[in-house]
Amino acid sequence: MSNDEPSATDLADAGRALAGTIRVTPDDALEWEPRFVGRDVPEDYTALVSRTGPGTLAGALRLLVPGFDGFDQETEQRRHAAPHEEALLWGVFGSGETCWWLPIRPDPAEWLVVVAGDGHQQLNLTAAEFLDEWLDGRLDLPVLSLPPVRRERVLTRPGHPVEDLASGRSAVRDPLAQLQTIIGLGEAWACDWQAVEREVGVSRLPSDYKRLHEAYGPRVVLNGIFVCAPGELAEHHDMHAGLLRSYGSSEDSTRVHPEPGGLLFCGSTEGRDVLCWETAKPDPDEWPIVNIDSGVFHGNITELLVAELTGTGLGMTDSSLGDPATWAWPIWGPRRPR
pTM for this prediction? 0.93
DSSP structure string for 50-103? HHH-SEEETTTEEEPBTT-TTSBHHHHHHHS--SSTT-EEEEEETTS-EEEEE-
Q: What is the pLDDT of residue 248?
A: 66
- With beta carbons less than 8 A apart as the criterion, state whether 301 and 291 touch: no
118/313 Cα distance (integer angstroms): 11
DSSP letter for each residue of 4-56: TPPPHHHHHHHHHHHHTT-EEES-S--------TTS---HHHHHHHHHH-SEE
Q: Please name which of 32, 76, 35 lies closest in space to residue 54, comparing C-alpha atoms.
A: 32
Which residues make Cβ contacts (< 8 Å) with residue 62, sequence separation at least 6?
54, 55, 56, 70, 71, 76, 91, 92, 93, 94
Pure H helices in 259-335: 301-310
CA distances from 17 to 5, 23, 49, 114, 223 (A): 18, 12, 12, 22, 36
The sheet carrying 220-222 orders its strands as 220-222, 225-227, 263-269, 274-278, 289-291, 295-297
What is the Cβ-side half-sphere exposure of residue 126, based on CA atoms within 13 angstroms? 27
Question: Collapsing DSSP states into helix, strand and coil, what is residue 297?
Answer: strand
Residue 231's contacts (CB-CB under 8 Å, 6 or more residues apart) are 196, 218
Q: Residue 264: phi, psi to the nearest 5? A: -125, 120
- Measured between alpha carbons, how far is 58 from 325 in angstroms, rounded to an integer? 34
User: What per-residue confidence (pLDDT) applies to 1?
Assistant: 42
pLDDT per residue of the chain (338 residues) written in tens, 0 to 9: 444 567 778 999 999 999 999 999 998 877 777 677 556 899 999 999 999 999 999 999 999 999 899 999 999 999 999 999 999 999 999 999 999 999 999 999 999 999 999 999 999 999 999 999 999 999 999 999 999 999 999 999 999 999 876 665 567 899 999 999 999 999 999 999 999 999 999 999 999 999 999 999 999 999 999 999 999 999 999 999 998 988 765 555 689 999 999 999 999 999 999 999 999 999 999 999 999 988 899 999 999 999 999 999 999 999 999 999 999 889 999 987 76
Q: Return the pLDDT at 106.
A: 92
